[in-house]
Amino acid sequence: MGTTLTAGDLRKGLKLEIDGEPYLIVDFEFSKPGKGQALYRCRLKNMITGIQFDRTYRSGEKFWSADLEEQDMQFLYKQGDHYHFMNTSTYEQIELPSEQVGDATNYLIENLVVSMLLFQGRPIGINLPNFVELKVVQSDPGLKGDTASGATKPATLETGFVIQVPLFIEEGEVLKIDTRTGSYVERVKA
């Protein structure tokens, strides 16, 4: 269990443990009706399932902060539906099913270091670096004479992820990709 908190400690971004699971306060509103108790309206997101719901608390209620830690993990390989990671300080290996890896599968290449979120020592998800560099493995050539400003074409990256890129991008080039938006940033000079 984490530390004890009161309703007065609640704020957006705080992580709580409720019924043995970690929750993130994604939205928060404080109100103090006339003579009544202060009310703390929270939009909570389950950090394991992603389910969100609203809950209102009164001043004086107590909570536990979620026992969360982050560890740097290096992606090793994918086997079937599972992704294998290694703790960069202890060399311990951890396996996660693809459901827990989520959209991060679009960006995982061997040796990429990610931040793994652990709840009570159990892995519950990963945070990618903001930018990754991935090679284009398939993209049709841009059409001659097609110089429309901002025109794009699909490109398949080495992870199988397909993104829209400018027409001048060719197969074999390495691109910088923003993992937060899934979009092309720039070509990486060789």
Residue-range definition of the domain harbouring residue 93: 68-127
- Rounded CA separation 155/164 (Å): 6
Across the range 63-90, mean pLDDT stands at: 93
Number of domains the chain is built from: 3
CATH number of the domain where residue 84 is located: 2.40.50.140
**pLDDT tens digits, residue range 77-115?**
999 999 999 999 999 999 998 888 888 999 999 999 999
Q: Give me the pLDDT at residue 27, please.
A: 94
Report pTM: 0.73
H/E element, 25: strand 21-31
Res. 158 pLDDT band, cuts 50 70 90: very high
Q: Give me the pLDDT at residue 149, please.
A: 67
Res. 151 pLDDT band, cuts 50 70 90: confident
**pLDDT tens digits, residue range 34-53?**
888 889 999 999 988 889 99
Q: Give me the pLDDT at residue 1, please.
A: 59
Say whether both 52 and 85 belong to one domain. no
Say whether both 112 and 136 belong to one domain. no
CB half-sphere exposure, 4, CA atoms < 13 A = 3
Across the range 14-18, mean pLDDT stands at: 92
Report helix, strand or coil for 83: strand
Say whether both 141 and 182 belong to one domain. yes
